[in-house]
């Protein structure tokens, strides 16, 4: 019996996804390049005439996440296309291989491609700026704490969009964002309820110093715990849910 | 090889499609799957390729439950759906990115078929007509060399010369290792190609016999002599074509359309005749 896991099939699947989406990838990266170029020029013009590693992360961060989410949704377009999904689902690739291949494409390859694009466009903006304004010619630097935060943040949020992309057939992005908002509001309400139930005797709702300190403390403590919980449980859980969705998918 | 055991299927909030269907397909045959519109031909194809899951019962393809869509099982199944869209790549690129998943894929065979269908390997699929895209997919499906090849209305969208070309190609690729199932309601397109007929009617299998058995037991044509009781079905038309018990008549060419109508009209009568083994032994 053929193995359900093969590295070769994963590589072939990544190659297939990238080839099939070549047009969308080129268009997306071209748009991102245009926006980044203008943003870097504005940064050079209004800032200290240089692009620091922090500037790079600040300028490209939002675009990186936004285009990453769009790419994650586009990679599952074939699954929801009624005229294409027969051929997609009958390709001899196991669901585990598909999930891994999609993650490699939409996270690792995308991050590398976007970073290289950002460096090239940033450097072009510096050269352009040095020719036409007071900008000093320098090499762009990208690796800062903000850059790694941006990559880590996308690592956390991407699985949610991965699941949304495979779960919903129509208005996928809207439904995913709405679901995310509902979950967020639910957790917020739940936290508030628990916090209120446990602390109402301590006058922490009076707006006094104690209340804000308590909130700050709770926020600080919870953010680290929550982040780890998200990383260890929710992220893989979303991939697992996506895996089962792929197994159960009928067309 | 492919067995459907007590298979039941219905769509949510929809009518029942299959009610306790048991059927098997054996390698070395080209099956013609017929039925009226909405009788479940495409649904059966989808179940056999693992795209739909039976509500109860099982569909086993090469001793594996196809609904599990395991790699080993999918490597032996290819489906050419009735309606489809291919990614807008060059034919060569399409072959490169998809063929790697099929271990028995033959590049030479694929490009030979592409040439036979009068297509160029450098053509972009998005610029092709639906019929030409169908030819690309048929060529790809054949070249995968899967043990089970499912084709849902393969001649839809093909022009008249291409239909005969299709029959010629299909006849040449059929072998003892391969099972081909072709679903269609255009029975004339498959004339002289299939060697086994399966007819679906009212959520079940109304007919499942080889054409050799049909021609051994039944006679198709305009009766000129013989007792009237040997007529199983007569077309109420000007031509007066009928299906008769063959008895001692010369063997006739099987008229698939007439057989189909006869089965829908009175499947019990036809099936009772075919259960008789007199001619199987005598001929």
pLDDT digits (tens, 9 = 90+) for B153-203: 999 888 888 888 899 999 899 888 899 999 988 887 787 889 999 999 988
Distance from CA of B72 to the nearest CA of A (A): 5
Instruction: Please give the average per-residue pLDDT across A2-26, as a whole number.
Output: 91
Q: Does B84 touch chain A (CB under 8 A)?
A: yes
Give chain B's largest Cα–Cα span.
63
* Residues of A whose CB is below 8 A from B50: 89-90
Q: Which of B71, B89, B144 to mutate to test the interface with A (most CBs of A within 10 A)?
A: B71
The residue of chain A nearest to residue B82, with distances taken between CA atoms, is A83
Provide the token pair at A219.
């926020």
Would the pLDDT of B35 be above 70?
Answer: yes
- pLDDT confidence bin for B222, thresholds 50/70/90: confident
* Residues of A whose CB is below 8 A from B75: 2, 92
What is the complex's ipTM, to 2 decimals? 0.86
- Kindly determine whether residue A250 and residue B87, on different chains, have CB atoms separated by under 8 Å: no
A35-61: string of b/e by CB count within 10 Å (b at 16+)? bbbebbbebbeeeebbbbeebbbbbbb
* Residues of A whose CB is below 8 A from B61: none
Distances, alpha carbon B159 to alpha carbons A187, B132, B162, B166, B189, in Å? 61, 10, 5, 10, 11
pLDDT at A66: 93
Q: Does B232 touch chain A (CB under 8 A)?
A: no
Taking the C-alpha atoms of residue A234 and residue A162, their distance in angstroms, rounded to an integer, is 12
pLDDT at B13: 80
Instruction: Please give the average per-residue pLDDT across B240-260, as a whole number.
Output: 81
- Kindly determine whether residue B71 and residue A86, on different chains, have CB atoms separated by under 8 Å: no
CB B24 within 8 A of CB A222: no
* Residues of B whose CB is below 8 A from A105: none
Name the residue facing A2 among B50, B72, B86 (closest C-beta). B72
The residue of chain B nearest to residue A246, with distances taken between CA atoms, is B69
Taking the C-alpha atoms of residue B252 and residue B206, their distance in angstroms, rounded to an integer, is 22
Instruction: Please give the average per-residue pLDDT across A145-158, as a whole number.
Output: 88
Across chain A, what does the average pLDDT equal?
85
Would the pLDDT of A52 be above 50?
Answer: yes
Name the residue facing A2 among B52, B75, B85 (closest C-beta). B75
CB B241 within 8 A of CB B185: no
Instruction: Please give the average per-residue pLDDT across B118-133, as a whole number.
Output: 94
The residue of chain A nearest to residue B93, with distances taken between CA atoms, is A19
Instruction: Please give the average per-residue pLDDT across A61-71, as a whole number.
Output: 93
- pLDDT confidence bin for B46, thresholds 50/70/90: very high
- Kindly determine whether residue A90 and residue B74, on different chains, have CB atoms separated by under 8 Å: yes
Instruction: Please give the average per-residue pLDDT across A33-43, as a whole number.
Output: 91
pLDDT at A107: 95
Q: Does A94 touch chain B (CB under 8 A)?
A: yes
User: What is the spatial order of strands in the sheet that B64-65 belongs to?
Assistant: B16-25, B2-10, B56-61, B64-65
Instruction: Please give the average per-residue pLDDT across B71-81, as a whole number.
Output: 95
Distances, alpha carbon A23 to alpha carbons A27, A74, B117, B145, in Å? 6, 11, 28, 31
- Kindly determine whether residue A247 and residue B101, on different chains, have CB atoms separated by under 8 Å: no
User: Which of A93-107, A212-226, B165-179, B265-279 is the least confident region?
Assistant: A212-226
pLDDT at B277: 57
Distance from CA of B93 to the nearest CA of A (A): 8
* Residues of A whose CB is below 8 A from B71: 2-4, 6, 9, 92-94
């Amino acid at each position: 019996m053929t193995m359900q896991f093969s590295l070769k099939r994963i590589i072939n699947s990544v190659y297939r996804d990238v080839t099939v989406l070549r047009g969308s990838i080129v268009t997306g990266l071209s748009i991102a390049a245009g926006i980044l170029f203008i943003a870097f020029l504005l940064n050079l013009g209004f800032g200290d005439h240089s692009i620091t590693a922090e500037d790079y992360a600040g300028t490209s961060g939002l675009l990186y996440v936004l285009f990453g989410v769009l790419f994650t949704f586009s990679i599952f377009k074939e699954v929801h296309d009624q005229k294409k999904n027969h051929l997609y689902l009958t390709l001899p690739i196991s669901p585990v291989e598909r999930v891994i291949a999609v993650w490699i494409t939409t996270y690792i390859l995308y991050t590398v491609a976007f970073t290289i694009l950002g460096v090239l466009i940033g450097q072009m903006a510096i050269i352009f700026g040095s020719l036409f304004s007071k900008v000093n010619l320098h090499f762009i630097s990208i690796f800062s704490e903000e850059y790694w935060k941006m990559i880590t943040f996308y690592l956390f949020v991407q699985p949610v969009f991965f699941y949304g992309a495979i779960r919903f057939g129509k208005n996928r992005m809207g439904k995913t964002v709405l679901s995310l908002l509902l979950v967020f509001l639910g957790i917020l309400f739940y936290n508030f309820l628990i916090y209120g139930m446990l602390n109402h005797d301590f006058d922490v709702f009076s707006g006094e110093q104690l209340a804000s300190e308590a909130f700050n403390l709770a926020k600080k403590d919870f953010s680290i715990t929550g982040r780890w919980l998200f990383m260890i449980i929710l992220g893989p859980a979303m991939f697992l849910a996506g895996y089962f969705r792929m197994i159960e998918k009928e067309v | 090889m492919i067995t459907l055991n007590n298979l039941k299927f219905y769509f949510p909030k929809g009518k029942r499609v299959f009610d306790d269907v048991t059927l098997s397909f054996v390698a070395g045959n080209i099956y013609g799957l017929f039925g009226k519109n909405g009788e479940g031909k495409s649904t059966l194809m989808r179940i056999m390729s693992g795209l739909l899951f039976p509500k109860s019962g099982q569909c086993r393809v090469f001793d594996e439950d196809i609904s599990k869509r395991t790699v080993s099982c999918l490597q032996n199944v290819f489906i050419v759906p009735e309606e489809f869209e291919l990614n807008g790549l060059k034919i060569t690129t399409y072959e490169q990115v998809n063929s790697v998943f099929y271990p028995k894929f033959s590049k030479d065979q694929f490009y030979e078929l592409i040439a036979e269908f009068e297509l160029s390997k450098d053509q972009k699929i998005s610029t092709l007509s639906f019929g030409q895209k169908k030819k690309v997919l048929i060529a790809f499906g054949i070249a995968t060399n899967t043990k089970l090849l499912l084709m849902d209305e393969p001649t839809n969208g093909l022009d008249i010369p291409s239909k005969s070309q299709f029959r010629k190609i299909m006849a040449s690729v059929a072998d003892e290792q391969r099972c081909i199932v072709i679903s269609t309601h255009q029975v004339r397109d498959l004339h002289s190609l299939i060697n086994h007929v399966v007819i679906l009617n009212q959520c079940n299998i109304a007919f499942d016999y080889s054409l050799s058995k049909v021609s051994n037991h039944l006679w198709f044509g305009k009766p000129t002599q013989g007792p009237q009781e040997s007529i199983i079905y007569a077309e109420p038309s000007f031509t007066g074509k009928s299906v008769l018990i063959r008895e001692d008549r010369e063997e006739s060419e099987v008229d698939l359309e007439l057989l189909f109508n006869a089965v829908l009209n009175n499947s019990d009568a036809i099936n009772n005749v075919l259960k008789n083994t007199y001619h199987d032994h005598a001929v």
